[in-house]
Structure 1
Amino acid sequence: WYVLDYKGEELLNSIPRIRQIDFKDTPSQPGLYILKSRPDLEEHTENWLWRIWENDDRGLFIDEGYMLPEVRKGAFSALLTQGRAKRISVITLSQRPVRVDRTAISEASHIVAFDLNDKRDHKSLEEVVPTGFMSDTVPPF
């Protein structure tokens, strides 16, 4: 599994046996790897994501998914739309669904939403999730 970390999350860094890699690395041996990126390193991040796409049987965990490079025609879009066929699982997190590309939500097999304090976040999810998912009958937990 690869972890793409945009904020230097202490919790992620404290995972036992996680190994930090840089943009030239996409190790093939089993393990847990973390890449620290920044929004100003879009080209490096995009190239790294394409290298993940070129392989099968991988996992990608992205914290703060709204910081990814332009999604429409990029590597992240390819991972989301073709990843299942390549056995590449993608988990994308964000506290602000309104800032996450719609493809990341519409291609998801599982969606977990909680504490949506902004109406725009609620509306952005309503536009792409299955009918009834955001109904008031769903418990708040």
Structure 2
Amino acid sequence: MAITRRGRSIALALLSVAFISLAQLSMKWGMSQLNEQFPTWLSLWQQQAYSHLVSHYWPYYLSVIGGLSCYASSMFCWVIALKRLALSIAYPLLSLSYVVVYLAAVSLPWIGESFSWSKALGVLLILIGIYLVIPRATGKQ
């Protein structure tokens, strides 16, 4: 079965959502860890102990750089998807990133976000909104 051009465009939009969600989570973890270690990091910087700055903090730097790379990849996918999809379809798909990031943030222990019923309701409302908007945008009312 051949995938249609529209199907590929939707897949690119969803890939953009995956990349942007991963970027958010990577940046959150990396920057949180660097923030916790900032006094030690600053001390090493002032002592010009650059090899220790690299060797002790490389996972955090890698996480931040990986997050930035995911942002770039997301933007690339998004631009191509926007060329081929109507905004009425593409933009609601992008809002899925809010859902993915929230669910991952409360599920992954290294992110450590707490569950909230009001936030869960917000996520549910986003999903309901996507459900209501996408069929209308595609003419499937």
TM over 0.5: no
Q: Name the structure with the higher strand share.
A: 1
Q: What TM-score, normalized to structure 1?
A: 0.22
Structure with the bigger RCO (C-alpha within 8 Å, sep 6+) is 2
Q: Name the structure with the higher helix share.
A: 2
The structure whose Rg is larger is 2
Q: What TM-score, normalized to structure 2?
A: 0.22
